[in-house]
Amino acid sequence: MNFFSGIAASRGIAIGKAHLYNYKFQVPKYNISDIQIDAETDRFYDALRKVEQDYKKLKMDLEKEASEDTAKLFDGSILLTKDHTFINEVLTRLREDKKNIEWIVYDVSDTIFKKLIILDDEFFRDRAVDFLNFGKRLVNTMLLEKSQSLADIDSDVIVVSNDLAVSDTANMNRQHVLGILTELGGATSHVAIVAKSLKIPAVLGVKDICSKIKESDLLIVDGYSGKTFINPDEKTLIFYKKERERFENSEKKFLSIREKPSVTLDNRAIALKVNMEIPYQEIDLAMDVGSDGVGLYRSEFLYLSNKDKKLPSEEQQFNAYKFILEKFSPKPVTIRTIDLGGDKILEGYTERELNPYLGYRAIRLSLDKPKMFRDQLRALYRASIYGNLQIMFPMITGVDELAKIYKEIQNVKKELTKNSIPFSNDVKVGTMIETPSAAMLSDFICAKSDFVSIGSNDLVQYTLAVDRNNDRVSYLYQPLHPSVIRMLKLIIDGAHKANIKVSVCGEMGGDMKGLLIFIGLGIDEVSTGVNNIDLVKKIIRSVNYSEVKDLVDSLFIFDETSKIEKELDKWISKHLKHLI
Ligand code: PEP
Ligand code: MG
């Protein structure tokens, strides 16, 4: 039995067989002889036919699942299977280079991709991505591999990977993924967030784990402590099976409070909302927990989960937003415009950068791509008549960005009015405060926002200059750091001075100590993943606001995280012992 330790990223115990998953795309390259050219040509034509069938099937599936318009997106891909220029280029290169056909196809499609992706025209950039995906599908088909995707998993497994892409998790088959184990990643990475939302136990940041595990090894993943066991002995297995049962029962313990309001013992109401990423997988869980609405829908997941890696059309977005608004109506649903970039890579639009979190991300991308932004705003406003919509913007650093956003909103509204397309006039527009700059300017920003929401995941990383995804510096990622708490006070006081509501939608709001800080500072709303809602409500209903306020006020004399933690621990063991 081998035992390893990592970052406990999503609560729960998973016991199951390992499935090694690596999204890195590797293509073999070797020489062939003249007499092999005909056979390689036949393999190429067979693969073209097979890929054409695959696309046709995907199109039919989408016609059933989404709209006809969305399904039509596959027409272009189907045409690629008959593209004479591409086919002739591949066959010429095959004869000239005398390399295996998979390599030639990969190289030709990659060259076309690189030529098109740099053109300053979205049509060609879309085609570039089409070509890349088409090339990969052809190569995979020729390698007789199923296009590897977590959506294809059809038996219960624990997914083991070097670095899972967020887009992988967006398509993952939740029914069969028992647990997640990765070499890279942090507790507030988006892989961790999705795992929590889907209630999948996860341990991240276990160094070199992939090299130690073979396909189908038996694993235990302990999402509480971060422990991982490979081929455990009988005693450990029995212990963890009991722990798993205990975990499931402890979850049930809270079910009775779902109908009760989220209010402190001394009657201070704190609205409790859910965060969502993948509505079609999460909606039942989210509706069941008895929330006051959706405090954060990370709309970029719609882009990341799009089957053919294309941007979702306005129509597709409209349908997705309408779906979630109708489900929760009349409760508010806060939809955040796309936050791509950072660890959320959308091929062809964002890429791995040197400093991904300081780069081309979130609102910067939206403002740089007016058509993309306008499509999203149009879809949102069109959907607004189906429920109680609030729109929120990520990664704002100053009021100049707000001015640009509001101008776009005015343009979209004017256009809809001109075309007699209905939309609601009651849509509230809010700002995420997740950069130190926005926090320092919270008086100005709050004066120009209907509400604000604190993105503590980013605010902590930017305040402390610690990459939230980097397990090597995870010990420095301290949400209870004195500088963070000062920053939070500034934001919450700023919002209240401007007479607007302030919520928290980062992971810190779902953690017992973090939540106490927010309650004490006077937060109006908490939005958290479905897996935390019951516990958060239980905590809110177990404390007196006035006492928590005194506690938090007393923390400002401390200059180190450890001292603050110690005070909170003391308080928790006195007042919330029953919940630990
Ligand atoms: C945050 O930063 O706290 C947040 C909620 O946004 P995300 O985790 O998607 O960056
Ligand atoms: Mg954020």
Give the atom of ligand 1 at the shortest distance from the alpha carbon of 457: 3
Give pLDDT, residue 117: 81
Q: Is the CB of 166 under 6 A from ligand 1?
A: no
**Which among 364, 432, 454 is the best mutation to test ligand 1's pocket, defined by most ligand atoms within 8 Å of the CB?**
432
**190 tagged catalytic:** yes
CA of 105 to the centre of ligand 2 (A): 39
Phi, psi for residue 101 in degrees, rounded to 5 = -65, -35
pLDDT of residue 194: 87
pLDDT value of position 65: 56
Q: Helix, strand or coil for residue 109?
A: helix
**Could you tell me if the CB of 300 is within 6 A of ligand 1?**
no
Tokens 């001015």 locate to 403
Q: Say if CB 515 and CB 535 are below 8 A apart.
A: no
* Three-state secondary structure string covering 388-431: EEEEEECCCCCHHHHHHHHHHHHHHHHHHHHCCCCCCCCCEEEE
Tokens of 380: 């949102």
Peptide bond into 330 cis (omega under 30): yes
Provide the β-strand partners of residue 430. 392, 451
pLDDT of residue 146: 45
Question: From the candidates 19, 210, 446, 505, which is the catalytic residue?
Answer: 505
β-partners of residue 20 are: 160
Mean pLDDT by 10 residues, the chain (580 residues): 89 93 69 90 92 82 64 79 93 94 92 85 78 84 65 88 80 89 88 89 90 88 95 96 89 82 98 93 87 96 78 94 96 97 82 86 95 97 98 98 98 98 98 98 98 98 94 93 98 98 97 98 97 94 98 98 98 91
Distance 504 CA to ligand 2 centre (A): 11
- pLDDT for 136 equals 83
Q: What is the pLDDT of residue 147?
A: 47
Q: Tell me the one-letter amino acid at 275.
A: N
Measured from the Cα of 188, ligand 1's closest atom is 8
Q: Which residues contact 51 (CB under 8 A, 6 or more apart)?
A: 81, 134, 137, 138, 141
- Minimum-distance ligand 1 atom for the alpha carbon of 394: 6
Ligand 1 pocket test, candidate residues 434, 453, 459, 527, most atoms within 8 A of CB: 434
Q: Which ligand is nearest to the CA of 455?
A: 1
Contact 469 CB / ligand 1 (< 6 Å) = no
Closest among 168, 202, 190 to 14, alpha carbons compared = 202
Residue 553, pLDDT score: 98
Can you spell out the DSSP letters for 168-232?
HHHT--TTTEEEEEESS--TTSHHHHHHHHTT--EEE--TTHHHH--TT-EEEEETTT-EEEES-
Residue whose C-alpha is closest to residue 362's, from 387, 382, 383, 341: 341
Going by alpha carbons, the residue nearest to atom 1 of ligand 1 is 455
Of 19, 190, 210, 481, which residue is the catalytic one? 190
The answer to whether the CB of 6 is under 6 A from ligand 1 is no
Is the Cβ atom of 505 under 6 angstroms away from ligand 1?
yes
In contact, 384 and 378? CB cutoff 8 Å: no
Measured from the alpha carbon of residue 342, the closest ligand is: 1
458 CB near ligand 1 (under 6 Å) = yes
Regarding the beta carbon of 339 and ligand 1, being less than 6 Å apart is answered yes
Quick one: which atom of ligand 1 is closest to the CA of 506?
3
Whether 455 lines ligand 1, by a CB cut-off of 6 Å, is: yes
- Cα–Cα nearest to 174, from 209, 207, 202, 215: 202
Q: Is the CB of 295 under 6 A from ligand 1?
A: no
